[in-house]
Homo-oligomer: A and B are copies of this chain.
């Protein structure tokens, strides 16, 4: 289970895919199967969470990697690249960035 914490030692990848609504469900499924088949077995992979916007114009992968170096090493892996290209082909555009968690806020209890 992914938890979001401040000063996490992990690298957070957020990849926002802009997609034609008719392709949104297919892209979401493709990212899920690519994660199960390929990404999950890459060194340093911790978790990935595939999100579909209610207007079906965006698909977001919120993922955690052990470090930025592990994430970058995956980008050079041939099988991973093949799956990323398949996802990219279904999208209009995609926008991956690595992030740090700056602050976390919760409801007053």
**Which residue numbers of A lie inside 8 Å of B, CB to CB?**
1-5, 12, 14, 16, 28, 31-32, 35-36, 39-41, 45-55, 57-58, 60, 62, 68, 95, 97-108
Which of B32, B48, B51, B105 interacts with A35 by CB under 8 Å? B105
Would you call the interface of chain A mostly helix, strand, loop, or mixed?
Answer: strand
How many angstroms from the CA of A40 to the CA of B50 in the assembled complex? 26
| Oligomeric state, in copies | 2
| Cβ–Cβ contact B60 & A100, under 8 A | no
| Cβ–Cβ contact A99 & B60, under 8 A | yes
List the B side residues contacting A41 at CB < 8 Å: 108
Which of B12, B32, B103 interacts with A102 by CB under 8 Å? B32
List the B side residues contacting A95 at CB < 8 Å: 16, 58
Nearest CB on B from A60, distance (A): 6
How many angstroms from the CA of A4 to the CA of B5 in the assembled complex? 12
How many angstroms from the CA of A62 to the CA of B102 in the assembled complex? 11
| Given A4-B62, A51-B12, CB of A28 within 8 Å of CB of B102 | yes
16 additional A-B pairs beyond A3-B4, A50-B105, A58-B97, beta carbons within 8 Å, are A1-B4, A1-B5, A1-B104, A14-B51, A14-B60, A16-B16, A32-B102, A32-B103, A40-B108, A41-B108, A47-B104, A48-B104, A50-B103, A52-B100, A55-B97, A58-B95
